Amino acid sequence: MQKQQEYNEWLNKKEILEIYPIGITTYKRRIKKLNNPQYQRFTRFISKKIEKSNLKEIQVREIHKSVLEELFGGTRIRIPKSTDSVKVIKWVNNHKWEWFGNIIPSHCYPLELKEKMHHLLNNIKRNLKGKYPVVLFYSIEKTEKDGYYHSHFLIDSNKSGISEKLIKELLNDICEENTRTETRQYLKPYDYKGFETRGSNYTLKDLQYGYEILK
């Protein structure tokens, strides 16, 4: 168990490039900061065996996750086309979200969920009177127990200060309210100290039934 935890604390170049929207040149330039004495404890080299190679082992640099955002974050990239799932995943994981949630409407199919998410975004914009740019990402997932579908979503209202109460009222327009026995809606402020990227990763975990970046 300790080994798995340690593995998650340290990432190599390949894993970092899968997370952050940067290329190898930018990676090499930014890791130069690790040469400074105050950063040396955040990097290490491990020996790794290479299969089907004349080299018995190579040295692989790993960087501690606590400094990844400082080193590789803050890269502004355009919203990618929804057809490029690799770029979408990177973009969503690197965007700063304010709200994290899901809806489970009864007897709902992907096309209906798509319409509901568009409706939600339009209602948020209407309530903000166009003063703040809003971005919403959603994905659609199949509910195994009944064969219908539900949606996970992330919202960025550009620090508009939109209240949880208002968003919940808008969710009531597209989904049944929660009861004592059923949770149909879930909404929480995106807490980066607690969630890190787990909230966005959870929203991205299944993209086969549909996803979209709306603005």
Which amino acid, residue 120? L
Higher local confidence (pLDDT), 74 or 117? 117
pLDDT digits (tens, 9 = 90+) for 114-163: 999 999 999 999 999 989 999 999 999 999 889 999 999 999 998 899 99
Q: Give the tokens for residue 47.
A: 């020996």
CATH class of segment(s) 85-214: alpha beta
Residue bearing the bigger pLDDT, 109 or 193: 109
Residues of CATH 3.30.70.1910 domain(s) within the chain? 85-214
Confidence of residue 83 (pLDDT cuts 50, 70, 90): confident
Please report which residue ranges of 31-171 form alpha helices under DSSP H.
68-72, 85-94, 110-128, 164-171
Average pLDDT across the chain, whole number = 88
Mean pLDDT of 173-202: 88
State the alpha helices, DSSP H only, in 37-161: 68-72, 85-94, 110-128
Q: How far is CA 23 from CA 17, 27, 86, in A?
A: 7, 6, 14
pLDDT for position 76: 64
Structure tokens of 92? 């969503």
Task: Quote the pTM value.
Answer: 0.73
Residue burial 37-73, b: 16+ Cβ < 10 Å; e: rest: eebeebbeeeeeeeeeeeeeeeeeebbebeebeebbe
Q: How far is Cα 2 from Cα 108, in angstroms, rounded to an integer? A: 42
- Quick one: pLDDT band at residue 2, thresholds 50, 70, 90? very low
The whole-number pLDDT of residue 77 equals: 65
pLDDT given at position 7: 45
Q: What integer pLDDT is reported at residue 108 of this predicted model?
A: 96
Amino acid 194: pLDDT: 74
**C-beta of residue 190 within 8 angstroms of C-beta of residue 201:** no
Kindly report each contact of residues 116-119 with a partner whose C-beta sits within 8 Å and lies 24 or more positions away, as own/partner. Answer: 116/151, 116/174, 116/175, 117/151, 117/153, 117/212, 117/214, 118/214, 119/173, 119/174
Neighbours of 104 (CB within 10 A): 21
